[in-house]
Structure 1
Amino acid sequence: MFFGISHLVVPCTNLENATRFWRDVIGFVPARSAEGYVDIDTGSAMLRLLQVHKVESQITVRLQVADVAHAYQTLLAAGSSPRYEPMRTPELEEMACVSDADGHAIVLWRTLTEDEWGFVPELPKQGEWTAEAEELLQRLLAHVPAFFRMLARRKTTRVIEQLAQEAHSPVTRELVIKGYITASAKVTRFRLVEPLRAEGINPDDYRAEFEYE
């Protein structure tokens, strides 16, 4: 019966100015127009700018951006009114908000990278770990680019705990080193050499793990 959302309607009192704002300032592409409206293709949803005599109620549009502060200043320079300056939220996002000429709220946001969180997430561990082992893995994972670190944390922890189960042992420093190496794809293991050396670990002592298929 229902096929999905085709448009989000943005009422505006000056269609020409609103079109210029979304096209020239924000950079989205007009896709279709007719008497009294312009459809704007945002790449993920269609906005219908609808000419009205008076905006009866405002809407909120969330725009994902790479640089919240830069986008915020860009919209202010284009005549938008500030609502709140860039800030970090408990949901681990950075957000700012402006109002356009018709009072609609435009929220600018991005997800914070793990390096910006201000805390180190706990390992998704289930078994018994020594404190030394857990601290070592956290330090080694810090060398993984933030974008990939969550996935690496999950996979590496799982591999290490499998090794511990096979050894009928708590997770030890030695098992962390072996699991850290074997959890990585063989073709990329050369990237682990420097993090290991930074921890005083000789990679040559773990040739078997580096060659593990």
Structure 2
Amino acid sequence: MFFGISHLVLPCSDLEKATQLWRDVIGFSAARSGEGYVDIDTGSAMLRLLQVPKVESQTSLRLQVADVAQAYQSLLAAGSTSRYPPMRTPELEEMACVGDADGHAIVLWRALTEDEWGFVPELPKQGEWTADAEELLQRLLAHVPAFFRMLARRKTTRVIEQLAQEARSPVTREWVIKGYITASAKVTRFRLVEPLRTEGIDPDDYRAEFDYE
């Protein structure tokens, strides 16, 4: 019966000014226009700017951006008013907010990368680990690009625990090293050489793991 949301309607007292903001400053394209409205293609939903005699109530829209501070300054330079400057939130996001000419709130946000969190997430471990084994894996994972680190953390921890379980052993440094290597695709294992050497580990001692299919 329902096909999804086709438009979000944003009432505005000056259609031309609102169109300039969303099209020329923010950079979205005008997809369609008619008597008293302009449809703005945001890439994820259509925003209908609707001319009204008076804006009776304000709304809030969240825009995901690559650089919160830069987007914030661009909107201020275009005449928007500051609600609050860039800030980090407990939800591990960076956010800022401006108000447009009609008082609608435009929230600018992006997710923080792990390198910006200010803490190291715990390993999703289930078995018994020695303290030095856990510390070693955390240091090795720090070499993984932040965008891929969460996935690498889950997969590598799982592989390490499987190896230790098969040997009926707690997770030690040795299982961490072997699992760290074999959890990676063979074609990319060359990237592990430098992190291992940084930890004083000779990759040549683990040729079997590097060659593991």
Shorter-normalised TM range: over 0.9
Partner of 1:62: 62
What CA deviation, in whole Å up to 9, does each residue of 1:88-131 have, x standing for no partner?
A: 00000000000000000000000000000000000000000000
* Matching of residues 1-213 of structure 1 within 5 Å: 1-213=1-213
Distance 2:189 2:121 in 1: 24
Whichever residue aligns with residue 95 of structure 1, its letter is M
Unaligned residue ranges in structure 2 (runs of 5+): none
Distance 2:183 2:77 in 1: 49
What CA deviation, in whole Å up to 9, does each residue of 1:158-192 have, x standing for no partner?
A: 00000010000000000000000000000000000
How much has 1:2 moved relative to structure 2? 1.3
Distance 2:190 2:152 in 1: 16
How much has 1:60 moved relative to structure 2? 0.4
Shift >6 Å, 4+ stretches: none
Distance 1:7 1:56 in 2: 19
SS in 1 for 2:149: helix
TM-score, normalised via structure 1 length: 1.00
Distance 1:37 1:8 in 2: 12
TM-score, normalised via structure 2 length: 1.00
Whichever residue aligns with residue 76 of structure 1, its letter is L
Whichever residue aligns with residue 196 of structure 2, its letter is L
Unaligned residue ranges in structure 1 (runs of 5+): none
Whichever residue aligns with residue 25 of structure 1, its letter is V
Q: How many residues align?
A: 213
SS in 2 for 1:200: coil
Whichever residue aligns with residue 124 of structure 2, its letter is P
How much has 1:3 moved relative to structure 2? 1.1
Distance 1:136 1:175 in 2: 11
Whichever residue aligns with residue 39 of structure 1, its letter is D
SS in 2 for 1:54: coil
Distance 1:54 1:194 in 2: 63
Whichever residue aligns with residue 120 of structure 2, its letter is V
SS in 2 for 1:108: strand
